[in-house]
Amino acid sequence: MLYREAGQFKSTYAEDQQIFPIRQDRIALAVFLAFALLVVPAIGNQYWLGALLTPFLIFSLAALGLNILTGYAGQLSLGTAAFMAVGAFMAYNFVLRVPGIPILLAFVLAGICAAAVGIVFGLPSLRIKGFYLAVATLACQFFVLWALQRFGWFSNHSTSGVITAQQIVILGYAFDTPARKYLLTLGVVAVMALAAKNLMRSETGRAFMAVRDMDVAASVIGIPMMRTKLLAFAISSFYCGVAGALHAFCYLGTVEPEAYSLDLSFRILFMIIIGGVGSILGAFLGAAFITLFPIFLNLASSWVNEFFGVEISHAVVSNLESIIFGGLIIFFLIVEPQGLARLWQITKEKLRLWPFPH
Amino acid sequence: MKRTSLAVAALALAAAAGPAAAQNEQFVPANFYWVGPYAPGGSGFGGGMIDYFAMLNERDHGINGVKLTWEKCETEYRNDRGVECYERSKNKGPTGASVIHPLSTGITYSLIEKATADKIPVISLGYGRTDAADGRVFPYIFPLITTYWSQNTAKIKFIGMKEGGMDKLQGKKIVNIYHDSAYGKETIPVLDVQAKKYGFQVTHIAVPHPGNEQQAQWLQIRQIKPDWVILRGWGVMNPTALKAAAKIGFPRDRIVGVWWSGAEEDVIPAGDAAKGYIAAGFNLPGTSFPVMQDILKNVYKKGKGEMEDSSRIGSIYHTRGVVAGIITAEAIRTAQAQFGKGKPMTGEQVRWGIEHLNIDDKRLKELGAVGLMQPLKVSCMDHEGGGAVKFLQWDGKKWNVITDWIASDQSIVRPMVEASAAQYAKEKGIAPRDCSKEK
């Protein structure tokens, strides 16, 4: 009843081709963005903004980057964390070595550096596919971390290889509190997510999907294989690189290369698998599940402790948390292998018919 | 169905809000780790600290009547979870978190700026950022007792002693096999400086996290044929290293470990391969110390205690946690003496307390911790305080102390600390404090 597009007539091509063709979607998105931009910083405390929402947004962006590559262009990659590391370290170096560089420009340049690395390590994708490609991108994961640790230049010859992100100042305005950092992150993520959503509807996005679905057929109908695959790597790595820069500057502040280990690459891969492969929304849902859910479980266990007055040993609780989390991942994959985004899509389809399904 | 779940959610929320915190409490977060490859360290250290606090609450009713409270948070030894735990715990209790023990070099790094901005002191007991020993640049960070660099100079001194004098180090070969992380790499520069000074050769060999695969590294060590191996491991890397050393026949009593490689959990899994292995330590194991007896009597006898496996009571990690508890409690006591006895202290006041901490031999005796730890005197200039190390050797069953406290060589360490801190201050635009003006 509420979510029905009947009566929304499109009289121009522009209207027909807009990103969100259904009016309710547009309103919902505008309300949601306004809420995230205006209300959340006002009601959220430091814990919510600094420790939950900011990392959630950053990992959403990284998952989005991987989703462009894996979900849309069909190239499996295990180098996501490495691209993030490139972004983080290069953003640091740009700010350090180019005096007076605007921070957003540094982020973009860092993303471009990550994209360049992505193109180099995307070259094997021209010859190999699937799991073999995943192993090839594994090389990227190890090589980048190795390079960041071995060459002192990247960390400005810090003895322990750790970098400390500089202060973020845009037009004289310092982003120094968790609320401000959250707003900056939200701004960057919102713009980039909209761009991704739009890109995937364009010729480029359709070429990506054609390559994913069957690359031989795609090349037969005239899609340049090399350009498309490398472009997918470049765009994906750019997103991951910007996410890495945000991770260092807006979230942790001080990062070591080991923070971007293979473990993180896997976590981001799990995000898109759980959230939904080949879906922009899926990246956000998956990131929420992987980053926020363990924390919720952790908090819930302390509520259970207080509420029922049972003192469970903390070691048991901590291990239980991992067990429940793992169990839920399996549950979701069995119930909905296409991810949480698909669940949302089904909900929307049902909503269209509601309250008269037949 | 929906209603019940709503009701449950509402109750859960109410429970989370909890009873209003009593005013006469001092909150200390227990952000450690009980799962993952480093769980033995996290659970032992955390258990020791909490046991000591529980003992103080039982025996003395807290510190001058202020009860210590704590809340556990699982960091999984991961930086992002550590930051999450920090943010969650920093405003708990009547005065917020009074002091943080991150128990991870990575998390310490992530908290330096946040904690400084929030005015919450960070104690990194025998780990963390070495150059934070320069309290002028790092007012809220305290790498207490000994830093990695200090410890390393003591290690080289120990090796020199074993060789029969520092001049005998000339031409010797030492391999530094390290956990490939910020923690592991921390000592490379100081070893290089010492190698130049004493004329020995040092080779650094990295072991990737978590370190359960070291064959290639030890084959390389066999080729180098070093006189000594410095093991800078952590968690599962240590027993693996000892087993690999046994395989290539490298004598175990020529391997010197850092203190994070020198606990029972590090050697028992290696079995006989660990016999004779030497490790540094800034706290000693055992339950014979009066303070440990008090913990047994006041906490474990009443069925409370944190260590579920009673054989771990008095293990290296457990007593290290007790040392952390002692230092934390003494810092709060020092702060109370200045700002008002019997009142909960804020993070800022506890910071003052840590900076004016002076645990001398007399105080150690009162605490019942003579021999458990070394005397400690912290100042604005020196956020390290101690600097000495004892060496322990594993005989297959227990750790035996084989040296007295060996002092570190501050003539090497201090200039490096100051240079490194100055570089940090310059990068971050921090004006160092003038210590002569600090009260």
Bridge-based pairing of strands A163-164 and B228-232 is unpaired
Distance from CA of B115 to the nearest CA of A (A): 12
Q: How far apart are CA B286 and CA B265, in angstroms?
A: 15
For residues B371 and B289, the answer to whether their CB atoms sit within 8 Å is yes
What are the structure tokens assigned to B405, written together?
């406290």
Residues in B touching A258 (Cβ below 8 Å): 106, 180-182, 209
CB-CB neighbours of A160 under 10 Å: 24
CB-CB neighbours of B212 under 10 Å: 13
pLDDT digit string, tens, across residues B134-190? 999 999 999 998 888 998 999 999 999 999 988 899 999 999 999 888 788 888 889
User: Radius of gyration of chain B from Cα atoms?
Assistant: 22
pLDDT higher at A23 or A73: A73
Bridge-based pairing of strands A254-255 and A163-164 is antiparallel
What is the arithmetic mean of pLDDT over A298-316?
A: 76
pLDDT digit string, tens, across residues A227-257? 999 999 999 999 999 999 999 999 988 888 8
A8 touches chain B (CB under 8 A): no
DSSP B334: H
Q: What is the pLDDT of residue A358?
A: 66
Mutate to test the interface with B, among A89, A247, A258, A313 (most CBs of B within 10 A): A258
What is the arithmetic mean of pLDDT over A289-300?
A: 86
pLDDT digit string, tens, across residues A69-99? 999 999 999 999 999 999 999 999 999 999 8
The average confidence (pLDDT) of chain B is 88
pLDDT band at A198 (very low <50, low <70, confident <90, very high): very high
Stretch among A39-43, A300-304, B257-261 having the lowest mean pLDDT:
A300-304
A322 touches chain B (CB under 8 A): yes
Long-range CB contacts for residues A280-283, cutoff 8 Å, separation at least 24: A280/A64, A280/A67, A280/A193, A280/A196, A280/A197, A280/A200, A281/A341, A281/A344, A282/A67, A282/A71, A282/A339, A282/A340, A282/A341, A283/A60, A283/A61, A283/A63, A283/A64, A283/A66, A283/A67
CATH 3.30.559.10 fits B22-146+286-377, yes or no: no
What is the arithmetic mean of pLDDT over B44-70?
A: 93
Strands (E), B193-253: 201-207, 228-232
Question: Which residue of chain B is at minimal alpha-carbon distance from A47?
Answer: B87
DSSP B373: B
3-class DSSP state for residue B219? helix
For residues B270 and B239, the answer to whether their CB atoms sit within 8 Å is yes
pLDDT exceeds 60 at position B65: yes
Residues in B touching A318 (Cβ below 8 Å): 33-35, 74, 76
Q: What is the pLDDT of residue B126?
A: 86
pLDDT digit string, tens, across residues B86-118? 998 988 888 889 999 999 888 998 899 889 989
pLDDT exceeds 60 at position A349: yes
Question: Which residue of chain B is at minimal alpha-carbon distance from A155?
Answer: B182
What are the structure tokens assigned to B225, written together?
């044929």
What is the arithmetic mean of pLDDT over B236-252?
A: 92
Residues in A touching B76 (Cβ below 8 Å): 318
pLDDT exceeds 80 at position B12: no
| Model-level ipTM above the cut of 0.95 | no
What is the arithmetic mean of pLDDT over B413-429?
A: 88
pLDDT digit string, tens, across residues B427-438? 888 888 888 887
Q: Which are the contacts of A115, defined by CB distance < 8 A and separation ≥ 6?
A: A233, A234, A235, A237, A238, A241
Residues in B touching A141 (Cβ below 8 Å): none
pLDDT exceeds 50 at position B26: yes
Stretch among A142-146, A309-313, B220-224, B399-403 having the lowest mean pLDDT:
A309-313
What is the arithmetic mean of pLDDT over A190-219?
A: 94
Comparing CB atoms, the residue among B34, B76, B109 nearest residue A256 is B109
Q: Which are the contacts of B1, defined by CB distance < 8 A and separation ≥ 6?
A: none
β-partners of residue B71 are: B29
pLDDT exceeds 90 at position B229: yes
β-partners of residue B203 are: B175
pLDDT band at B329 (very low <50, low <70, confident <90, very high): very high
pLDDT exceeds 80 at position B16: no
Determine whether the interchain pair B74/A318 forms a contact, defined as Cβ–Cβ distance below 8 Å: yes
pLDDT exceeds 90 at position B362: yes
Using the structure block, give the residue that is written with the tokens 């590391």: A85
pLDDT digit string, tens, across residues A119-141? 999 999 888 888 899 988 999 99
Mutate to test the interface with B, among A157, A251, A252 (most CBs of B within 10 A): A252
Q: What is the pLDDT of residue B9?
A: 47
For residues A84 and A107, the answer to whether their CB atoms sit within 8 Å is no
DSSP B309: S
Mutate to test the interface with B, among A49, A160, A266, A314 (most CBs of B within 10 A): A160
Provide the total of helices (H) and of strands (E) in chain A, helices listed first: 17, 4
pLDDT digit string, tens, across residues A148-173? 988 889 988 877 778 888 888 888 88
Domains defined along chain A, listed by start: 44-353 (1.10.3470)
Q: What is the pLDDT of residue B15?
A: 43
Mutate to test the interface with A, among B32, B73, B87, B312 (most CBs of A within 10 A): B87
Q: How far apart are CA B97 and CA B229, in angstroms?
A: 41
Determine whether the interchain pair A159/B109 forms a contact, defined as Cβ–Cβ distance below 8 Å: no
Question: Which residue of chain B is at minimal alpha-carbon distance from A46?
Answer: B87
pLDDT exceeds 60 at position A221: yes
Distance from CA of A208 to the nearest CA of B (A): 33
Comparing CB atoms, the residue among A51, A300, A318 nearest residue B87 is A51
pLDDT digit string, tens, across residues B29-44? 999 998 887 888 899 9
Q: What is the pLDDT of residue B11?
A: 44
Superfamily of domain B148-281+391-409: Response regulator (3.40.50.2300)
The average confidence (pLDDT) of chain A is 89
Percent over 70 (pLDDT), chain A: 98
Distance from CA of B259 to the nearest CA of A (A): 18
Distance from CA of B361 to the nearest CA of A (A): 35
A338 touches chain B (CB under 8 A): no
Q: How far apart are CA B248 and CA B66, in angstroms?
A: 56
pLDDT digit string, tens, across residues B271-313? 999 999 999 988 899 999 999 999 999 999 988 888 888 888 9
What is the arithmetic mean of pLDDT over A307-311?
A: 72
Q: What is the pLDDT of residue B439?
A: 65
pLDDT exceeds 90 at position A47: no
Q: How far apart are CA B167 and CA B119, in angstroms?
A: 47
Residues in A touching B132 (Cβ below 8 Å): none
| CATH 3.40.50.2300 intervals, chain B | 22-146+286-377, 148-281+391-409
Determine whether the interchain pair B35/A313 forms a contact, defined as Cβ–Cβ distance below 8 Å: no
pLDDT exceeds 60 at position A110: yes
